[in-house]
Structures are given as C-alpha cells and as structure tokens.
Amino acid sequence: MARNTVPDLIDRADLNPAPARSLAASVFVSLRPAQWTKNLFVFGALMFGQRLLDPTSVLQAIAAFFIFCALSGVVYLINDVADREADRQHPVKRQRPIASGDVAVPVALGVAAVMGAVAVAAAFWLRPSFGLIAVSYLGLLGLYSATLKHAVIIDVLTIAIGFVLRAAGGAVAIGVQASHWLYVLMMLLALFLALSKRRHELVLLADGAKGHRKILEEYSPYLLDQMIAVVTASTIVAYAFYTISPETVVKFGTDKLGLTLPFPLYGIFRYLYLVHQKEGGGSPADMLLNDRPLLICVGLWAAVVAFFIYSPALR
C-alpha cells in the first residue's frame, strides 16, 4: 500500500491553500468545532444515570455540553499559541489560523480569556460543583499545554483525565452519582484514542516527528502498539464486567446489557483497522464523523443500550 510522505503532504497543502477567511471565521476555526464531538462524553451520565427522559436533566446536560465546548475552545486557542512554531513545520497543522498568522497571538489570547471567564461563570451558575470541575479542566489542560505534554506517558494520561472530567462534569451537572465503572471506561477509551493519535503522528511525520513534537522521540510505533494492545484488552474486559456486574443488573433492572458487547468490539477493531490500514487516528472526531461504519456502530450501540436501560421503566 502506497503511503503519503511528509513532502507529499506539504506539496498537496501548497497546491490547495486554505481559502481566505475573515478574522471572526478564523477565530471560530481555531476553536476547532469539529473536535467538539469529544464533549459528547458529558451525556454519558445522562443515559447511565437514567435521566434521559427527564426534560430538566436533558437541558442541564445540554448546557454542560456547550460549556465544555467553550472550555475546550479556550484550551485549543492556548495550545495553538504555544505550539505555533512547531505547527508551522507540520504538513497539515501549518494551515491552522494561529500558525499561519491569520489570527494574531494577542487576539487569540484575548478571546481565550473572555471565553474562559464566561464559560467558568456559566458553569458556576449551573452548579457550583460543576464550576469547580470546569476550573479543574482548564487548569489541567492549561498545565498540559505548558509542561505535561512534554512528559512521556504523563501526556496521554493527562488527555485521558480530561475526558474523565467531562464525564464527571456531566454527572455533576444533572446531580447524579455516576458509577465508578463509567470513569474507568472513559479513562481507558480516552487512553486508546490518545495513544492511537500519537502513533498516527509518529508514522505520518516519520523522520521529522521529533522535530515537530519533542515528546515523540520518547515513543516508537512498537511501544505504542504494545500500549494500545493493553488498553484495548482492558477496555473490552472492563466493559464486559460492567455490563454483567450485579450492581449494574440491579440498578437497571436488566441482565441484557452484556448483549451489547459486540458493538464496542466492532468499534474498537474498526478504529484499529483505520489506524493501521488507512493511516487514520490523527483526529478521532474526524474519523467518527467521516467513517460511516464506525458512526453507525456508535449510533446502534447507543440505541440498544438506551432500549435495555429504559424499557424496564416503561413497562
């Protein structure tokens, strides 16, 4: 199978330059709205906390989702400012508005400050405990942009904890106690995605990887494949144990959740196929939205899980 080299990607980017945008549009692109699908983790507690049919909880979860979209936008702005020099050496990231110079650094930081203040205020208004999670998320990811992304293994663990904070925020926003299983599964799934992304960067950039992102010199495709294998197995086992545990059966009044195991199995295997055979993994959000089999798998999983959880309550 022919592989795209970094020079090929650079030439392709030069032949297809990003279209001219207004400053407002460039700032919006810098917030990376396509990545906001990651904030769907907020709705995990809504489904598994059995509040999906409660209109108030649904509205609170939606509010939490948009607050996290704003918070993640702030993190992306700060991260792009910090990485602007390295991004200019990347075949794709060089076209990001801050790296390309379409958005000046003072403008990006100003927007980040205003958005961060508004998002945190809204979080505290929704629930004070949710506000604390919002501040923790900004603090953790801000620290990641400053130093933690340069620490091997700590970098991907930090990203995973960010996803756990999303899940915890969703639970706190609607006032439910989320299962510890939910946090374990979120952590493992996020680690799987983060490690796959590291592998994609390493393979895509080849010999230029270390120059683009210093932390990549601490990894190798073999090491990442070993880590991904461990996390993949752990995710499947944890999901299987969760669905058949007595606590889960009693809580939802059904022992049928174990029947949903084929969906995460297919979803993870499909993702690995895209990473290894189609050179995907650079953007989990893009892969989810653009790969129809993966999108259908996630949709069917959500529908079947919702049916098993809520059908006993509707009898």
Domain that holds residue 292: 179-315
- 161 and 183, same domain (yes or no): no
The number of domains in the chain is 2
Residue 4 domain-assigned? no
Whole-number percent of the chain with pLDDT over 70? 88
Task: For residue 278, give the DSSP letter.
Answer: S
pLDDT, one tens digit per residue, over 166-195 is 999 999 999 998 788 888 998 999 999 889
Burial class (CB in 10 A: 0-12, 13-18, 19+), 141: buried
* Domain final position from 147, 163, 178: 178
pLDDT recorded at residue 9: 44
Same domain, 122 and 251: no
Last residue of a domain, one of 143, 178, 213: 178
Residue 58, domain CATH: 1.10.357.140
pLDDT at 214: 75
- 178 close to 43: Cβ distance less than 8 angstroms: no
Q: Do the domain assignments include residue 6?
A: no
On whether both 52 and 87 belong to a single domain, the answer is yes
Question: Coil, helix or strand for 31?
Answer: coil
Q: Considering the domain boundaries, does residue 29 fall inside one?
A: yes
The residue among 178, 210, 226 that closes a domain is: 178
Structural contact between residues 161 and 52, judged by C-beta atoms closer than 8 angstroms: no
pLDDT tens, residue by residue, 115-151? 999 999 999 999 999 999 999 999 999 898 888 888 9
Residue 219 included in any domain: yes
One-letter amino acid at 42 equals: V
- Domain shared by 50 and 23, yes or no: yes
Q: Model confidence over 44-94: pLDDT tens digits?
A: 889 888 898 899 999 999 999 999 999 999 999 988 888 788 777 777 778
Q: Which two tokens stand for residue 89?
A: 């050496």
pLDDT at site 116: 93
